Amino acid sequence: MKKLIGVTPRLLMEDDVEKQFVNTSYLDCLLHYDCNVIMLTLNNPNVEEVLDLCDAFLITGGSDLDPKYYGEENNGSKGIDLRLDVLDKAVVEYAAKTKKPLLGICRGHQSINVFLGGSLIQHMENHRGIKEGHEVKTIKNAYLDFDENILTNSYHHQAVKEVAPNMEIVAKHLDGTCEAIIHKELPIIGIQWHPEKTYESKVSKIIFDKFFEFVNK
């Protein structure tokens, strides 16, 4: 049996019709590692029954989380949809409980931090629309064997503020913004940039190789 990766959806309105979707770049990246992929749809009556089918999870990028989850009023968060928050929360908490591997990208990275007890910077400048050349300094750690200095893309306006308990920062932008976190004990990784866009690059391969090492244990 191929390993099954559950991937969270995002939302799109076209001609007054709401659609749930996953960007093909995430799917191409996962399928490159010879696994099966399933989209985790919203509003399942017992989402844990669906999560039980999966061997691991990817929480994708997307709109902002409701700041109520980290005890703040909204002072810059955009595009909030509580259904997405509820699903991301369920996935994070389930992965932590079952010790199944979890990778969060962009919003997914932020969801991991928030739903494990951390908080976010609700708005920041100069981290959006950067296709390449975003300078990141890494920190030696147990999971991701990056070079000391790497270049990434960047497409976010929020970032980790207070790091969740049992998570550690393993990469920062030159301005100090958190760019990657890992769990100290569990197979959980959060990446603020979008490694799926360049999944065959050296930096991205380090991330996905480690994730699938966890998956295939």
Catalytic residue list: 106, 194, 196
d(CA 27, CA 145): 24
The number of helices, as runs of H, and strands, as runs of E, in the chain is 5, 13
Residues 158/122, Cβ–Cβ less than 8 Å? yes
Any idea of the CA torsion for 178, 185, 150, 217, to the nearest 10 degrees?
Answer: -140
Residues 6/56, Cβ–Cβ less than 8 Å? yes
d(CA 85, CA 106): 14
Cβ neighbourhood burial of 182 (10 Å; 0-12, 13-18, 19+): buried
